[in-house]
Amino acid sequence: MPPSAMEHAMTTCALTFRELLDKTMAWSGRRRLYLRMPFWLAKLGALLTLPLPNSMRPLTVDQVRMLQVDNVVGKIAEAEGRTLAGLGIEHPQTMEAVVPGYLQRFQPHGQFAHYRG
């Protein structure tokens, strides 16, 4: 299956970006304020930081474009077999079962806390 087809087949539930941020903050044990901004402002910020190295850029124009469009499996994708089952994944694990383990190292007293002083 080509990579573009796999983009649409990676989750079993639909969440908003805000819900994903909330879950990430909870699982990493962090609290941060969110700054709501219109897409035109985010795109302008991405364009202004274009000359900077990638490691210093908070957001790219391509990332802003991806955030503007819902990324869920549609009826056409289901009909074409671009689903988890179509990839041969019969028993997918939930995000709640997998992601907290990945984010544990970023908790305030996690794996790398001794580097923060």
pTM: 0.66
Q: Is residue 31 part of a domain?
A: no
**What pLDDT, in 10s, does the model give residues 9-19?**
444 578 888 99
Q: Is residue 30 part of a domain?
A: no
Please name the residues in contact with 64: beta carbons below 8 A apart, sequence gap of 6 or more: 39, 42, 43, 46
Q: Does 4 have pLDDT greater than 70?
A: no
Q: Is residue 73 part of a domain?
A: yes
**What pLDDT, in 10s, does the model give residues 77-108?**
888 888 888 888 888 888 889 999 888 888 88
Strand, helix or coil at 106?
helix
Predicted confidence band of residue 45 (pLDDT cuts 50, 70, 90): very high
Number of domains in the chain: 1
**What pLDDT, in 10s, does the model give residues 60-74?**
999 999 999 888 888
Biggest alpha carbon–alpha carbon distance for the chain: 53
Predicted confidence band of residue 116 (pLDDT cuts 50, 70, 90): low
Q: Is residue 29 part of a domain?
A: no
Mean pLDDT for the chain overall: 83
Q: Is residue 108 part of a domain?
A: yes
**What pLDDT, in 10s, does the model give residues 51-60?**
999 889 989 9
Q: Is residue 101 part of a domain?
A: yes
Structural domain boundaries enclosing 57: 3-23+36-115
pLDDT of residue 40: 96
